[in-house]
Amino acid sequence: MTTPEGTTTPETPESRTVTAPVEQIRKALLGYRVTAWVTGLWLIALCYEMVMKYGFNDDSLSWIAVVHGWVYFVYLLFAANLAVKVRWPIGKTVGILLAGTVPLLGIIVEHFQTKALKARFNL
């Protein structure tokens, strides 16, 4: 690939693939970021529910699992949407989708993916 200055830069797989327009990526990234945080916080609440249920025999918080399940489903949709728009490989996509199942890991992964995508697409 030749730059305007006449120098050549090595092609990477990411530079050869066509991605969505930057504005669509920006919107998809925002949705992913919000749902990653919401999913992470609900997962922490789910851990609290499990401690109360199995540690103290308190079954009054069983609704948290239902809410977390739906929130995680929405996270899957937003993360998959972003993955398609930025052309993540399937292994990376599956890893990011599974990160939402480990407390705080989804939030940490979101931070690093956001940083990488902002640099890659100049967001």
What is the DSSP track for 72-101? HHHHHHHHHHHHHHHT--HHHHHHHHHHTT
Token output for 13: 């797989």
- CA 96 – CA 79 distance, rounded (Å): 8
Question: What are the average pLDDT values for consecutive 10-residue runs of the chain, which has 123 residues?
Answer: 50 60 94 96 95 94 94 97 96 96 94 96 90
> What does the pLDDT read at residue 18?
63
Determine the residue type at 39: T
> What does the pLDDT read at residue 58?
93
Residue 78 contacts residue 32 (beta carbons within 8 Å): yes
Q: What is the pTM of this model?
A: 0.81
Token output for 3: 């730059």
Residue 106 contacts residue 100 (beta carbons within 8 Å): yes
Token output for 34: 């919000």
